[in-house]
Amino acid sequence: MSTSKLLIKYDFSLYCHNAFGIDVNAYMYLPVTSLKILDALRKNLSILRLPYLVLGGGSNLILTQNFPGLVLHMYNRGIEILSEDSNAIYIRAAAGETWHELVMWTLDQGIPGIENLSFIPGSVGAAPVHNIGAYGVELKDFFHTLTAINMQSGKVFILDRDACDFTYRSSIFKHDLGKHAIILSITLALPKRWKPNASYIDLAKKLEDLKLYQPSAQDISNAVRTIRMQKLPDPAVIGNVGSFFKNPIISAERNISLLIQHPRLVSYKQNNGSYKLSAGWLIDQCGWKGKNLGTVGIYEKQALVLVNRGGATGKNALHLAQIVTNDVQEKFGIILELEPVIV
């Protein structure tokens, strides 16, 4: 494929391609349906010198201005059973696939494992970047490898779980590697010896309410979907990127100190002895739940979520987030970190 055949669009609106509904344009926009497109793109040095942004579902992205470079929108498709051994079934999915559709595909094939991650918006390629997680499960728990291309060298390479350096809502792609590498596909290792994970309090309660004491993977998926729909706004109805703040991780000693000052503190002990705080609870205690600041606000059902009340800009969202962060720090001494990618 020659560069002249690339379907590049200019001054392209990203309004419908970011879940917060921010009205900005990209100088150049290119849908990527195959590796051949990226190979052809590398032959155009003038374009390659521009800054580029890899776009998936736009569900975890805040755009603060028109993007002055090239937006590469991943549209490659494909899900397949790659192989299996005595322990796991290996599923490969292209980066442009929708994450929730991948979860549903695995359940349709009778291959459980990632049902707790049902109904998470976004693309498959974005999942390892953010090490997505929900209801007691993180992507890294079932991650095997990913395939990516280095846009500087043109080399296609594979990274395993350790090489991805997964941490809470982060990976190596949020650091140096993300500046020049594009994820093409991921491979999951889903265990043959499956058992339900209902350790998360909200999920356990929902299953109990439904009298599902020995839930199937589909039961868990359905329960997760119900919880998410009750707690989180639909981006198609009101612009949002889901959780805007990460849940802070603190030491056991710090947790005890905060409990003395705030006996109703919501915290969860982690496997390594640290504690995860509920950022939503902290924000709620500062009085922000359901409040608005101009065109942006805090969702009335979940204080972790910032919403676009109509015509909001990325800078509006960041301004409110900073005020909320300041209030939480003043009241609790905790510094909240933002979860979405800011561009």
Please give the positions annotated as active site.
169, 243, 339
Residue 35 backbone zone (phi > 0: left; psi -120 to 50: alpha; other: beta):
alpha
Decide if 93 contacts 186 (C-beta within 8 A).
Answer: yes
Decide if 19 contacts 56 (C-beta within 8 A).
Answer: no
Distance CA 287, CA 284 (A): 5
Strand partners, 133: 138
Identify residue 269 by its one-letter amino acid code: K
Strand partners, 250: 275
Counting Cα atoms < 13 Å in the Cβ hemisphere of 237 gives 6
> Which residues are CB-contacts of 313 (< 8 A; sequence separation ≥ 6)?
22, 23, 64, 295
Diameter over CA atoms, the chain:
66
> Which residues are CB-contacts of 222 (< 8 A; sequence separation ≥ 6)?
none
